[in-house]
Amino acid sequence: MWDYTDKVREHFLNPKNVGEVENPDGIGEVGSIACGDALKLTFRLGKDKKIAEARFKTFGCASAIASSSVLTEMIIGKTLEEVEKISNDDIAMALGGLPKEKIHCSVMGQEALEKAIAYYKGEPEKILEGEIICHCFNVTDVDIRRAVQEKGLTSLEDVTGYLKAGGGCGNCHEEILQIIQKSQGMTILEPKKPAAGMTNLQKIRKIEETLESEIKPALIRDGGNIELVDVDGNRVLVRLQGACATCSRSRITLKDHVEARLRTLVAHDLVVEEA
Amino acid sequence: MTPVYLDNNATTKVATEVMEAMLPYFTELYGNPSSMHTFGGQVAASVQTARQEVASLLGAASTDEILFTSCGTESDATAVHAALRAFPDKKHLITSTVEHPAIKALFEKLGKEGYRITTIPVDSQGRLNMELLTQSLDEETAIVSIMWANNETGTLFPVEKIGRLCREKGILFHTDAVQAVGKIPMDLKNMPIDMLSLSGHKLHAPKGVGALFIRKGTPFSPYIVGGHQEHGRRAGTENVASIIGLGRACRLAEEKMGEENTRVRAMRDRLEKELLRHIPKCFINGDPDARLPNTCSISFEYIEGEAILLMMNQHGICASSGSACTSGSLEPSHVLRAMGVPHTAAHGTIRFSLSIYNTEAEIDTVIEQLPPIVARLREMSPFWSEA
């Protein structure tokens, strides 16, 4: 069991400000169901331009719920200029600390807050900078380098605890370690030679096999299905069927389930699109 | 608040009878079984009795087929390495996608060392793809290692059928039966299984003791070398008190097998039925027909497992999310992923595993406390309103 502080337990068991603000001025949504945690933060400004109401909805563990709850308490009554300065460290500190494996929960709070403020200001959504290193959790080399340098992370475990990067299939561990070593000015280990590439036919067969054995059973169980239409380079064109075809969450199914599984089991650069 | 312990696939309490049987071996019966004097002799005889009790539970033909080890993991490693040394020219190994980390990590390591590993997938109910297994057996295959019962879902694999297929091709078959031993009847003298692993702490013996069944005639070389203990098959002074405990636990399990398969199964079934009745959007993982009598893996959609566990813990209910060995991972368990359980549910999966020491009143507590916990967490979940 995790070693949570009394404050984390209190906010988890008796969370404050659960729900959604009606007609919010700011909306920030981060995370996904595939990643294991997600947060929707909403706030409304009062006439004095201070946050009058803030609410959250969180899918996640005790520290994710506690981080969301304490964040709403921290921002209510403050101006946007004041809350813009709130960092994940402030959130973790307000909880009396988090286990290092759970720091990413506080990072999720900070990111949701940034997004909610950007929404209020009408700023466009940030585009991911750099190359995606961890495909399970969509984390780029730029994110990892920044976290390593700014937060003084020195190990793979630190990076996973902070950004979740490397916490899934593990295929990116070597690349993460190289970024850490480079940031520390260490000699870079020779990169592993890439595995011998598959021919197009092998890749298509592997995609078909994976769809049949790993992906279809779950979709069929939910009343849906999927059909492979074409493979064009790294683009996998599919057609959702049954309940999946009309589901409002079909994009999540495509990206967080189908694409993630194919990237893990076939090739890391596949992009799944609806035909 | 009296805790309700429903995490018996992680570990079990040491039975009172087991502890009482062990106690003299810490005090007056402290001899080394290898010693040639009275102190050693009486202990050696007791170790042999324990071996007989283990053999009896497994339905083994001879006590010589039982090797005491320190745990299930050591038994697994001993079996696999014995096969590799017996067939140094064979470089192909077969296992399943849902093995316990004791086998999964071992095979991954062997894969990096140059062995060709075939991992047989399972379907959405956790059932092994037997067609693929049959096709995968070849002349290069040194060993097939497939678990008897899955630790997370309780799904039982057709080990007799797998063993027959292996025997036809002259391939060794090992099964990690850590979760199955003591819960379902076994008759190894009439089954085509070459090696079988078990662990004491899963059947009310202490932690730190296990056993490996090695059928007579199976090629074997020791994993741990040194002294001549265990007929030269495992060096190291025997963990005598724990071995005595394991023997007594096996005898108890044999006596209580009927209760495990009737009363425990009925409690488990009632728990499942009532949870499904009171909680929307949840489902049971595993084979509905071939499943351990004590295990219930249930997925609650749109909420996360750790949060459920901690809230249950507030009410004294102790269970597990996925596998205890994989808690701390950010991903859903490899077993649920292999079964294709959707992300909407895999993160919110809880495993309840019962034992003969659980009561109907404890099951009532879970049925009463869990639905409001799930409802409360769903109220907080951004995905629930859209579900």
Mark yes or no for CB contact B340/A214 under 8 Å.
yes
The reply to whether the predicted model has a pTM over 0.80 is: yes
Q: Sorting pLDDT into bands at 50, 70 and 90, what band is A199?
A: confident
Give the pLDDT of residue A255. Answer: 74
Q: Catalytic site residues of B? A: 325
Task: Report the C-alpha gap between B176 and B148 in whole angstroms.
Answer: 6
B371 vs A147: which has the higher pLDDT: B371
Chain B residue with minimal CA distance to A166? B330
Mark yes or no for CB contact B342/A29 under 8 Å.
no
Give the pLDDT of residue A186. Answer: 57
Mark yes or no for CB contact B302/A59 under 8 Å.
yes
Residue matched to tokens 């991954």:
B108
Give the pLDDT of residue B329. Answer: 60
Give the pLDDT of residue A132. Answer: 87
Task: Report the C-alpha gap between B34 and B226 in whole angstroms.
Answer: 13
Sequence-separated (6 or more) residues with CB below 8 Å from residue B81: B221, B223
The number of C-alpha atoms within 13 Å of B109 and in the hemisphere containing its C-beta is 9
B123 CB neighbours in chain A (<8 A) are 213, 217
Chain B residue with minimal CA distance to A64? B307
Give the pLDDT of residue B322. Answer: 64
Mark yes or no for CB contact B124/A220 under 8 Å.
yes
Q: Sorting pLDDT into bands at 50, 70 and 90, what band is A194?
A: very low
| Segment A115-131, tens digit of pLDDT | 999 999 999 877 778 88
Which DSSP state fits A21?
-
Catalytic residue among A35, A134, A172, A244: A35
Q: How far is A152 from chain B (nearest CA, A)?
A: 22
- Name the residue among B123, B124, B347 with its Cβ closest to that of A36: B347
Q: Sorting pLDDT into bands at 50, 70 and 90, what band is A41?
A: very high
B308 vs A200: which has the higher pLDDT: B308
Share of chain A above pLDDT 70, in %: 92
Give the pLDDT of residue B98. Answer: 96
CB A105 within 8 Å of CB A58: no
Give the pLDDT of residue B79. Answer: 98
CB B363 within 8 Å of CB B17: no
Chain A residue with minimal CA distance to B328? A101
**In this complex, is the C-beta atom of A208 within 8 Å of any C-beta atom belonging to chain B?**
no
Strand, helix or coil for residue B41: helix
Residue A191 has pLDDT above 70, yes or no: no
Catalytic residue among A105, A134, A136, A244: A105
Rg (CA), chain B: 21
CB B234 within 8 Å of CB B69: yes
Residue A167 has pLDDT above 60, yes or no: yes
Mark yes or no for CB contact A137/B330 under 8 Å.
yes
ipTM higher than threshold 0.95 = no
Strand, helix or coil for residue B355: coil
Residue matched to tokens 């078959």:
B173
- The interface residues of chain B toward chain A in range 297-336, judged by CB-CB distance below 8 A, are 302-304, 306-307, 310-311, 313-314, 328-332
Which DSSP state fits B58?
H
- The interface residues of chain B toward chain A in range 367-386, judged by CB-CB distance below 8 A, are 379-383, 386
Task: Report the C-alpha gap between B108 and B30 in whole angstroms.
Answer: 41
Q: How far is B186 from chain A (nearest CA, A)?
A: 31
Residues B191, B293, B124, B160, Cα dihedral to 10°:
0
Q: Sorting pLDDT into bands at 50, 70 and 90, what band is A189?
A: very low
**In this complex, is the C-beta atom of B42 within 8 Å of any C-beta atom belonging to chain A?**
no
Task: Report the C-alpha gap between A117 and A127 in whole angstroms.
Answer: 16
Give the pLDDT of residue B328. Answer: 54
- Rounded average pLDDT per 10-residue block, chain B, 387 residues: 94 98 96 92 96 98 98 98 96 97 96 95 95 96 98 97 97 98 97 98 98 97 94 95 98 97 98 98 96 97 94 95 57 88 90 98 98 96 79
Give the pLDDT of residue A146. Answer: 87
- The interface residues of chain A toward chain B in range 145-184, judged by CB-CB distance below 8 A, are 160, 164, 167-169
Q: Which of A1-5, A87-91, A140-144, A238-242 has the highest mean pLDDT?
A: A87-91
Size of interface A-B (CB pairs under 8 A): 93
Mark yes or no for CB contact A57/B304 under 8 Å.
no
**In this complex, is the C-beta atom of B357 within 8 Å of any C-beta atom belonging to chain A?**
no
Task: Report the C-alpha gap between B337 and B331 in whole angstroms.
Answer: 9
- Name the residue among B124, B307, B331 with its Cβ closest to that of A168: B331
Quote the tokens at residue B214. 């090695």
| Longest Cα–Cα distance in chain B | 75
